[in-house]
Amino acid sequence: MIAEWKLIPCLVRLRAEFDRVAPGRDRASDGTIGDAAHRHRVSDHNPDETGAVPIRDADRTNEVHAIDIDTDLRTPGLTMEKVVQFLLTRCRSGAETRLRYIIYNRRVWEASNGWRQRAYTGESPHTEHAHFSASYDTKKEASTASWHLEDIPVALTADDKKWISDQINAQVAKIWNYKVDVDVSASGANLQPTGGVLRYTSYEHHDIQARVAAVSAQLDQLIKMVEALEPPTP
């Protein structure tokens, strides 16, 4: 019988961020505590007070220091490879220090090796899930600071582009419907159609109309940029 255990808080946060950026992801290959095979060898999937683990932390809480996340994120433009490379970039820069190593798709990256890639030849190739092992340091394992997965650049879908274009077009329509009512006796008063309704518009407001035209042109250019937008190369 396995003693009561819990997943360390920093990995609870990491898993939650996966759920947030990929809410429809497959969870079939997710994992925390190890199976019988894990219990017979040293593994971060074993509880650290009652199982075989590489490090003993300072507390007396029975904790698991590793998670597996299914590779099928089912989110357009987002892949496990992108997530892994994003986290590795943060680890190499020193922005992220809570991970000890990552295993994914026959490769392993370790903090102890400067996060350099090397081949992984373990029993599981880790193609169906990515493995994340975290620190045994008390402060690091307890940290629930953001992993910043929401910052990973992804490609805009056709629906995304249409929504953005629609929002821009709506703002353009509001600008062109800008109305300036003036006294009919005002100097230089001129009857002009604005937004489909006849309004008295003074020559004094022609500079406003010129600015509106300039902004509209800029917004039209922005729409074209959005439609052509692609994610940066990782």
Distance between terminal CA atoms of the chain? 45
Per-residue confidence (pLDDT) for residue 2, from 0 to 100: 58
DSSP-derived letter for residue 123 is S
Which residues make Cβ contacts (< 8 Å) with residue 190, sequence separation at least 6? 200, 201, 202, 203
Per-residue confidence (pLDDT) for residue 27, from 0 to 100: 97
- CA separation for the pair 53, 70 (Å, rounded): 23
Are the C-beta atoms of 50 and 38 separated by less than 8 Å?
Answer: no
Beta 6-7 vs 63-64: how paired, if at all? parallel
Per-residue confidence (pLDDT) for residue 187, from 0 to 100: 44
Per-residue pLDDT tens listing for the chain (234 residues): 456 999 999 999 999 999 999 999 999 999 999 776 667 789 999 999 988 899 999 999 999 999 999 999 999 889 999 999 999 999 999 999 999 999 999 999 999 999 999 999 998 999 999 999 999 999 999 999 999 999 998 876 777 777 777 777 777 666 555 554 444 444 444 444 444 444 444 444 556 666 667 776 777 777 777 666 665 555
Per-residue confidence (pLDDT) for residue 189, from 0 to 100: 44
